[in-house]
C-alpha cells in the first residue's frame, strides 16, 4: 500500500505515468487488458535485464574464444533476452504489481 502511494505521488509530480509505463497506462485507459498485460510484461523484462546487467559485467572471458568489444555488445543483448524469457515465463511478479498499481490508479 505504501508503494502504491509513492507511485501515485511520482505520477502526480511528473504529470502522468513514469517513463516506460505510458503504453501500459494507455492500454488500461482504452480498456484493453491484453495490451496492458503485454506492456507490463515488457516493463518487467526491461527491469529484469537491468537488474542482471551488473551480474554479467564482472565476467571475464579468456582467449581464444572470448574477449573484445563485440563480446560486450553481444553480452548486453543476451542479458536483454534473458530478461524477456524470464518475464514471459512468469517473471518475479513485477508485471502483476505494475498492473495492480495502474488499475488502482485508474479507478481512483
Residue 107 pLDDT: 74
Residue 75 has pLDDT above 90, yes or no: no
Structural contact between residues 24 and 98, judged by C-beta atoms closer than 8 angstroms:
yes
Of 95 and 2, more confident: 95
Residue 49 has pLDDT above 80, yes or no: yes
Structural contact between residues 43 and 94, judged by C-beta atoms closer than 8 angstroms:
yes
Q: Percentage of the chain with pLDDT > 90?
A: 31
Across the chain, mean pLDDT equals: 77
Helical spans, DSSP H, in 1-93: 2-14, 22-30, 33-57, 69-88
Residue 4 pLDDT: 46
Alpha-carbon distances, residue 38 vs 26, 86, 106 (angstroms): 12, 14, 18
Amino acid at each position: 500500500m505504501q508503494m502504491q502511494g509513492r507511485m501515485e505521488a511520482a505520477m502526480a509530480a511528473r504529470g502522468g505515468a513514469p517513463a516506460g509505463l505510458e503504453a501500459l497506462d494507455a492500454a488500461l485507459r482504452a480498456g484493453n487488458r491484453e495490451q496492458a498485460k503485454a506492456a507490463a510484461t515488457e516493463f518487467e523484462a526491461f527491469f529484469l535485464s537491468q537488474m542482471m546487467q551488473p551480474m554479467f559485467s564482472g565476467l571475464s572471458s579468456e582467449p581464444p574464444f572470448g574477449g573484445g568489444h563485440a563480446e560486450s555488445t553481444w553480452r548486453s543483448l543476451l542479458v536483454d533476452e534473458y530478461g524477456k524469457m524470464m518475464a514471459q515465463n512468469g517473471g518475479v511478479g513485477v508485471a502483476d504489481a505494475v498492473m495492480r498499481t495502474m488499475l488502482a490508479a485508474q479507478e481512483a
